Structure 1
Amino acid sequence: MTAYYEAEAEILKLARVLGVEPERLEYLARVDADDLRAFRDQVTDTLFDANIAVLQRMALAARLLPGGVLAKIAEKVFGPLLCARIAGLVEVSRGVDVAKRLSPRFLAEVAADLDPRRASAIISRIPLDTVLAVAAELARREDWITLGRFVGHLPDPTVRRALDEIDDPGLLRIAFVLDDKNRIDHVVGLLPAHRLGRLLTAAAADEDLWTPALDLLTHLGEDRRATLKPMAGGLPDGLRERVQATIK
């Protein structure tokens, strides 16, 4: 089942990159998740490398403008898509300075179009208050895919604070589309101890969350899964059996 869950999550993310509804890609459900991830990365690279020479010249020209002026131009002229394309080409200190001056709403739109692999150094240095404001805006939009893509590029203290601002159903959906599933156990370890049990409670109340919850369980370490065994008996039929099979 783990392979099925991971393929389903990859289809959701691939659909975002391609700008199509996930249902159109259901025929890929039996493709290995690693292959889907590699394909998604190839598509992303193709999109970001298009017109790379022009984007590099724009990034160089941006060095000549004061940060405040550049931030205004970014929001009023460039727009989020172009900003996302340029972000990985500007100097880190310059990128951080401009990001601090942009509105959380606009930054959330940039984040949705950004390839975090290309701007990881900038992302990791953005001030905590800015990250929290953008995370809140993305959660309001229920943009779990974008949130999941950025977790691996932020320092642990920032991740901990950001997850404090997201409710339990949202956290399950973020974990489901996390880019690096090997980090799930580590990320869960950043949460207060009582919150892991709350995630199961959230899943019990909404059948749509069963798959994200079960996927989360498959990526937890044995010790953390063991702490959930006493809760399994109180779960709804169907979910209970699947949880028990996962944490046995």
Structure 2
Amino acid sequence: MNDLTPNLEIQVELEKLAQYLTLDDTTWQALVDAGAANLRELREHIEQEMYNQHRKGFQHLASWTRWLSIKQLAKLAYAIGAKMAARLVGEMDPYFAAKVARRLTPDFLGEVAAQADPRKIREVIRRLPAELISQVALKQIQEKQFLLLGRFADALSAPSIREVVNTVKDDGALLTIAFYMENTTQLSNVIRMIDNSRLASIVRSGTENADLWPKAIWVIDHVEGELKSRLGNIMAEQDERTLDSLVDVAHRQQLWGPVLRALSVINPRYHRKIVNLPSLRNSAVLTDLVNAAVSKNLLEETLPLVNAMQRDYREVVAHTALRQGEEVAEAVVQAAHQSGQWDLILDLAQFLGDDERNMLARLPISHNPSVIEALMRNAAKLGKTDLLLDFARRFHREGLQTVVEISLRDGGDLLQAFLDAARDTRDGWQAIATAVSVVDAPDMLRDIGRIYQRQNPQDQQAFREAANETGLWSRLEQALPA
């Protein structure tokens, strides 16, 4: 069975099913659409049905094994063959079965493990000596039985794990075994037992082989928090060529979710190196990355990475995100608002053209009062009121009213900040006058009048001329305090 899907979880489940089913490629391809969870359920059902067949007979036979010596049972195992021995061992007391297993050769024991009920054999494996386990592992690695080794690595004791890691010199093999492990808690426990030097070597084995890259990414994504950071840092230490190959793999095999999760927990000192890779200039790559961040709900974790990008990269990101449409744009603004990353949004906004800014101004979230207030206050704090004024003139009437109401709070500090910015902003006075022109309430007009009277004569004249053009001045003049 060839690889039928870039989804690693589905591919693994298909490989496990292939142990029990012989199907044509068309049928395998149809199974891809079932999804990993359904495939796992199907596989477990098949295993249950298969190992339940003739179970009573094997249980009856196992009850007689207590009358035989360990030596006699070992001879019996060889006589009946690995398949029958596997069924028999699965029905024996695990402690007693482990004693028999110690009398078997590593080659034969590997054959028995391959035929045994995974639910039953794990209890036997836990009781086997570490040296025997490592010998079996070496033999199975030679035969490339990585799926089998991964499934049973979940059952290994700490001494057995250390023995296997020390005995097996093939880092790529260890990485592949880790990839096939089913119990992610045990996977994390295994990683913790490996020293930094060997762990770095194992991760590098994935970076040096395009076929192993996806497995390395999967392992990093499935370990616990501090280990994800530890492994991610090792990944980030690789050279530019290697990291560009990672980007290519993530793009082709739809692995941006795991990659973004890893990048969100690595040491920030690696951010600039990663996000300015040449491969990230590719528009198709960035499109996939942005869409993955949205669909995987990773925007809040992804946005800080943009801050580390060079200016020309940030410009590409800004245009790429907006090209995905209003749904993606809304998600980006929402993530920035929730995580307080308005500095980034204001930075990216400077690269946008008229059509893109108009689209942002139309977004429902752009008319949320809490969003408008956060945008206004951050624009004032960061000295980017010119951007805010440009956006404000694109709002509909209700949005403009909200802008004015917020600008008049706290004695009109925000409105004063925008008036100060208008002096150096093209069409700044016109933008403020347009926004304020939606005001009809007498009390708000009086507040605006008081702030107007605090300005110097030159600014008063500039504002008055703009207010005349919008029809505001006649109303504002009547509201000016005597």
- Rounded Cα–Cα distance in structure 1 between residues aligned with 2:106 and 2:71: 15
User: Structure 2 unaligned runs (5+)?
Assistant: 1-5, 251-255, 264-482
- Please say if 1:135 is aligned against 2:150: no
Of 220, 238, 242, 2:245 maps to 238
Of 18, 30, 34, 2:37 maps to 34
Larger radius of gyration: 2
Match of 1:219 in 2: 222
Deviation of the 1:73 alpha carbon: 1.5
Distance 1:165 1:27, change over 3 A: farther
Deviation of the 1:74 alpha carbon: 0.7
Match of 2:164 in 1: 162
Identical positions, percent: 28
- Rounded Cα–Cα distance in structure 1 between residues aligned with 2:186 and 2:112: 24
- Rounded Cα–Cα distance in structure 2 between residues aligned with 1:198 and 1:150: 23
The count of corresponding residues between Structure 1 and Structure 2 is 245
Deviations 1:36-60 (A, max 9, x none): 2222111111111101121111111
Contact 2:83 2:112 in 1 (8 A): yes
Match of 1:205 in 2: 208
Match of 2:84 in 1: 82
Contact 1:163 1:171 in 2 (8 A): yes
Higher relative contact order structure (alpha carbons within 8 Å, sequence separation ≥ 6): 1
- Rounded Cα–Cα distance in structure 2 between residues aligned with 1:17 and 1:164: 33
- Rounded Cα–Cα distance in structure 2 between residues aligned with 1:200 and 1:121: 30
- Please say if 1:60 is aligned against 2:63: yes
Deviation of the 1:240 alpha carbon: 4.3
- Please say if 1:72 is aligned against 2:78: no
State TM-score, norm by structure 2. Answer: 0.47
Secondary structure of residue in 2 paired with 1:101? coil
- Rounded Cα–Cα distance in structure 2 between residues aligned with 1:24 and 1:143: 24
- Rounded Cα–Cα distance in structure 2 between residues aligned with 1:96 and 1:155: 14
The aligned amino acid for 2:242 is: L
Distance 1:204 1:9, change over 3 A: same
Deviation of the 1:196 alpha carbon: 2.8
User: Structure 1 unaligned runs (5+)?
Assistant: none
- Rounded Cα–Cα distance in structure 2 between residues aligned with 1:199 and 1:22: 33
Deviation of the 1:145 alpha carbon: 1.0
Contact 2:203 2:231 in 1 (8 A): no
Distance 1:8 1:231, change over 3 A: same
Contact 1:11 1:22 in 2 (8 A): no
Worse overlay, 108-117 or 217-226: 217-226
Deviations 1:84-130 (A, max 9, x none): 11212112232011101111110010011112321332211111221
Match of 1:125 in 2: 127
Deviation of the 1:169 alpha carbon: 1.0
State TM-score, norm by structure 1. Answer: 0.88
- Rounded Cα–Cα distance in structure 1 between residues aligned with 2:103 and 2:218: 38
Distance 1:226 1:205, change over 3 A: closer
The aligned amino acid for 1:29 is: V
- Rounded Cα–Cα distance in structure 1 between residues aligned with 2:246 and 2:182: 25
- Rounded Cα–Cα distance in structure 2 between residues aligned with 1:158 and 1:215: 24
The aligned amino acid for 2:16 is: K
- Rounded Cα–Cα distance in structure 1 between residues aligned with 2:84 and 2:194: 35
Contact 1:108 1:134 in 2 (8 A): yes
Distance 1:22 1:92, change over 3 A: farther
Contact 1:148 1:178 in 2 (8 A): yes
Secondary structure of residue in 2 paired with 1:73? helix
Deviations 1:116-170 (A, max 9, x none): 3213322111112211111111111110011011111121221122123231111
Match of 2:109 in 1: 107
Deviation of the 1:24 alpha carbon: 5.8
- Rounded Cα–Cα distance in structure 2 between residues aligned with 1:173 and 1:36: 21
- Please say if 1:172 is aligned against 2:175: yes
